[in-house]
Structure 1
Amino acid sequence: MCEAGHLAYGTCYSFLPKNKCYSCHRNGAYSRNTPLEGIVGCVKVLCPYDVYGCRTYATYHEAGDH
């Protein structure tokens, strides 16, 4: 997140300029938002293969790897 609070997440972050916010264009680097990472890490979703009978719940960011 930039100093103004704009977020950059996951795969999108690698495509953004590292020295300027994509939203407000302020100079500076992004820093991690560890409280938000903790929340996202707790969210569980039904497996994407539930249509084939899998009833497992996985964390949102790991569901594609299940």
Structure 2
Amino acid sequence: MMGRDFNGQKRLELQDRVLSLLESEKGTETIVRDAVAAVRNRSAQLEQQTRANIRREDVPFLPVGSQ
């Protein structure tokens, strides 16, 4: 009888560990997904800024007082 209780307890401990690892893996996936989204957002912002800067450079400067 003692062996069954021991095995049952070990099984429960292993199940708890597996569930804990699965939960931490989900947390890791969320962290990675959020980080990837942040990098994509930042890349999009930089691309928009670059396009805006290029457009400004395309406008010729006129001397003061000229029309």
Would the TM-score normalized by the shorter structure come out above 0.5? no
Taking structure 2 as the reference length, the TM-score comes to 0.22
RCO greater where, 1 or 2, for CA within 8 Å and sep 6 or more? 1
Max radius of gyration: which structure? Answer: 2
Higher share in helix: 2
User: Could you say which structure has the higher strand fraction?
Assistant: 1
TM-score, length basis structure 1: 0.23
